[in-house]
Amino acid sequence: MGVAYRRGRSKWPLRTPEKFGCVDSRFASRTAKPFAKGLGVGIYTFLRVNVAGFSHSHYRGCFEVVFPCSPILCLWLRNIRVWIKQLSVRKHTSAAKVLAKITPATEVAPAESSNQKPPVQEQGITPRSQDFNAWYLDDYLNIKFKETGHSNMYFPQFIPYSFIEKEASHVEGFSPELALVTVGGGKELEEKLVVRPTSETIVNHMFTQWIQSYRDLPLMINQWANVTRWEMRTKPFIRTLEFLWQEGHTAHATPEEAEREAMQMIDVYTKFSYEQAAIPVIPGRKSRVETFAGADRTYTIEAMMGDRKALQAGTSHNLGQNFSRAFGTQFADENGQRQHVWQTSWAISTRFVGGIIMTHGDDVGLVLPPRLASVQVVIVPIWKKANEKNEVLEAALSVKDILHTAGIKVKLDDSDQRTPGWKFNFWEMKGVPLRIEIGPRDVSSRSVVISRRDIPGKPGKIFGISMESSFLIPYIKEKLDEIQSSLLDKAITFRDSNIVDVNSYDELKEAISQGKWARGPWIGSDEDELKVKEETGATVRCFPFDQPPGPKKCLMTGGPADEVAIFAKSY
């Protein structure tokens, strides 16, 4: 797969991001729009490029694809403005000139004077030989994916229906959620196209062409993309008709390698949840009923939301050889024998954004973990008289420069169209972890007032903090770390206080009726599991990796059980 020009053109202009109002209807469900608008969430068109190289009849030639992204929490990308500077306008007179000028990005030297502008370095479109990640900016997850040996690519959004049909359990599991394209260009298509619900099928179509020998393995890729699933009952961020995610796909020579990969990636998600999002997820294995369609085993991270419902925050699937046998994805081993590859897939989506909102948010609005907040500190200058404005703004700008230089994500709200009180409420709703207030008295005393978002009202206010950089920088960093730890500790306490250990089905039903999670020994059949769901509304969320020692008896059958399972209601 490679990036190509539009057919018939020698030049292809790169488009800069465009904001479509508050929410672009293409990327949000009908019910999600007003909710997102209230939070001030904007959704951007990130980049338009052409993709070519697929041999299937529906993909001959070139076609345009769109890379969407949301700036909220910087979960997917960091600062778009940096991206614009790094990938600014290029002009090339021919394809040969493009290829000739492809070089690794280098830092532009600073201008010698304020009147002299730094030279603009021209770059071509990223060739296939380079990591497709050049179209994205690194964030925590992307860095982890690259550290574990994965490369970023992009696959088509429209998938031939025949691909979906090749894996029986896969098509059975996804049929109710598929969106189909039957007409294109005013003509009925020879074969229906499925709007991507997930990419195992199209990935395997390409794997069969890329994998020939054991020397081609392991093949480990990831893509950041949008997905469509025809949800009948939408819920903002949690269940939407279209959502954004990353999905990893890997192929291995042995089942042991595939299992290690599946476990490694669920561990990456677990650490991200704890260390970055301050969400204390429970990692574990899904039951047979809840296993991904087409997988041998599914691993999950389950999070408890503020209403005590469970959220499946991320999954990693050991696909075995199910898809490789369906698509004929084989390799020649060291003895020259043809073998089917062993595969995994794993994903985390914008559902996680909803998880952050519902784990930490309160009646005022968002409460963001500092490590994910796009703005960690907001500075609100306060003045009443005109002659106070300049000295207050000067002090506020000085504080901003001090924090920015220290690597803290800071914003100065120096607009004079709104009152300080309005700004306080606005940034509290946005969930900014720390607010710095600077007034005339603070300027005189060379100090500031700091308010913590996680501790509302006067208890969260600290007065008389010195403006001196030697004191202010370590103090702010310490408070951000305190907020991060406090949010995690609070979420752990809430989760643990709402999990009940049960030893009988009656106890399970009682716990679920109280809105809690039930944890108990389980070896029940698929029919028993469906009975629990029908009678209580709860499902087996997972068999936790962390299991209690000692003998156990199944809460349903009374037989010996090796594991405990967690039951809970979900969205």
Residue 58, token pair as written in the block: 């529906």
pLDDT tens for the chain, 571 residues: list them: 333 323 333 333 333 333 322 333 333 333 343 333 333 333 322 333 333 333 343 333 333 333 333 333 333 334 333 343 444 333 333 333 333 333 333 333 334 444 444 444 445 555 555 555 444 434 789 999 999 999 999 999 999 999 988 876 666 767 788 999 999 999 999 999 999 999 999 999 999 999 999 999 999 999 999 999 988 888 888 888 899 999 999 999 999 999 999 999 999 999 999 999 999 999 999 999 999 988 999 999 999 999 999 999 999 999 999 999 999 999 999 999 999 999 999 999 999 999 999 999 999 999 999 999 999 999 999 999 989 999 999 999 999 999 999 999 999 999 989 999 999 999 999 999 999 999 999 999 999 999 999 999 999 999 999 999 999 999 999 999 999 999 999 999 999 999 999 999 999 999 999 999 999 999 999 999 999 999 999 999 999 999 999 999 999 999 999 999 999 999 8
What per-residue confidence (pLDDT) applies to 129? Answer: 52
Q: CATH code at 355?
A: 3.30.930.10
Q: Name the amino acid, one letter, at 347.
A: A
> Is the domain of 469 the same as that of 526?
no
Compute the C-alpha angle 84/86/92, nearest 5°: 95
> Is the domain of 453 the same as that of 402?
yes
| Tokens 């990308």 found at | 77
Collapsed DSSP state (helix, strand, coil) of residue 451: strand
Q: State the pairing for strand pair 539-544/517-521.
A: unpaired
> Is the domain of 453 the same as that of 336?
no
Number of C-beta neighbours around residue 217 at 10 A: 19
> Is the domain of 314 the same as that of 199?
yes
Q: Percent helix, strand and coil across the chain, each rounded to 5?
A: 35, 25, 40
- What is the enclosing helix (H) or strand (E) of 500? strand 499-501
Judge contact between 343 and 321, C-beta under 8 A. Answer: yes
> Is the domain of 451 the same as that of 339?
no
> Is the domain of 239 the same as that of 284?
yes
Judge contact between 214 and 332, C-beta under 8 A. Answer: yes
Residues 6+ apart with CB under 8 A from 148: 220, 264, 265, 268
Euclidean distance between CA atoms 509 and 32, whole angstroms? 33
Residue at a domain's end among 483, 510, 527: 483
Q: CATH code at 464?
A: 3.40.50.800
Euclidean distance between CA atoms 9 and 5, whole angstroms? 7
N-to-C CA span, the chain: 37
Residues 6+ apart with CB under 8 A from 105: 86, 121, 123
Euclidean distance between CA atoms 163 and 146, whole angstroms? 29
> Is the domain of 412 the same as that of 519?
no
Q: CATH code at 549?
A: 3.30.110.30
**DSSP, res 148:** T
Residue at a domain's end among 483, 512, 544: 483
Would 490 be classed as within a structural domain?
no
Euclidean distance between CA atoms 295 and 346, whole angstroms? 11
C-alpha dist (Å) from residue 282 to 252, 313, 516:
27, 10, 15
> Is the domain of 516 the same as that of 552?
yes
Judge contact between 321 and 338, C-beta under 8 A. Answer: no
- Supply φ then ψ for residue 308, to 5 degrees: 70, 15
Judge contact between 311 and 300, C-beta under 8 A. Answer: no
> Is the domain of 446 the same as that of 412?
yes
Beta partners for residue 18, in sequence order: 45
Would 343 be classed as within a structural domain?
yes
Q: What is the CA radius of gyration of the chain?
A: 26
Number of C-beta neighbours around residue 570 at 10 A: 14
Residue 533, token pair as written in the block: 């769901």
* Tens-digit pLDDT profile for residues 171-181: 676 778 899 99
- Supply φ then ψ for residue 7, to 5 degrees: -60, 130
Residue at a domain's end among 325, 360, 395: 360
Would 396 be classed as within a structural domain?
yes
Residue 526, token pair as written in the block: 């698929």
Would 77 be classed as within a structural domain?
no
Euclidean distance between CA atoms 444 and 442, whole angstroms? 5
Would 255 be classed as within a structural domain?
yes
**Which range of residues forms the domain containing residue 286?**
134-360
Q: Name the amino acid, one letter, at 141.
A: L
Judge contact between 170 and 220, C-beta under 8 A. Answer: no
Collapsed DSSP state (helix, strand, coil) of residue 11: coil
Please give the sequence-ordered ranges of beta strands (E in DSSP) within 229-296, or none if there are none.
242-252, 282-285
Would 268 be classed as within a structural domain?
yes
3-state secondary structure 392-418: HHHHHHHHHHHHHHCCCCEEECCCCCC
Residue 48, token pair as written in the block: 């338009």
> Is the domain of 185 the same as that of 316?
yes
Burial of 493 (0-12, 13-18, 19+ CB in 10 A): exposed
Euclidean distance between CA atoms 198 and 315, whole angstroms? 13
Residues 6+ apart with CB under 8 A from 403: 377, 410, 472, 473, 476
Would 252 be classed as within a structural domain?
yes
**Number of compact structural domains in the chain:** 3
Single pTM value for the model: 0.77
Would 5 be classed as within a structural domain?
no
Judge contact between 554 and 521, C-beta under 8 A. Answer: yes
> Is the domain of 478 the same as that of 511?
no
Euclidean distance between CA atoms 490 and 481, whole angstroms? 14
- Supply φ then ψ for residue 199, to 5 degrees: -120, 15
3-state secondary structure 347-397: EEECHHHHHHHHHHCCCCCCCCCCCCCCCCEEEEECCCCHHHHHHHHHHHH
> Is the domain of 341 the same as that of 403?
no
* Tens-digit pLDDT profile for residues 103-136: 333 333 334 444 444 444 445 555 555 555 444 4
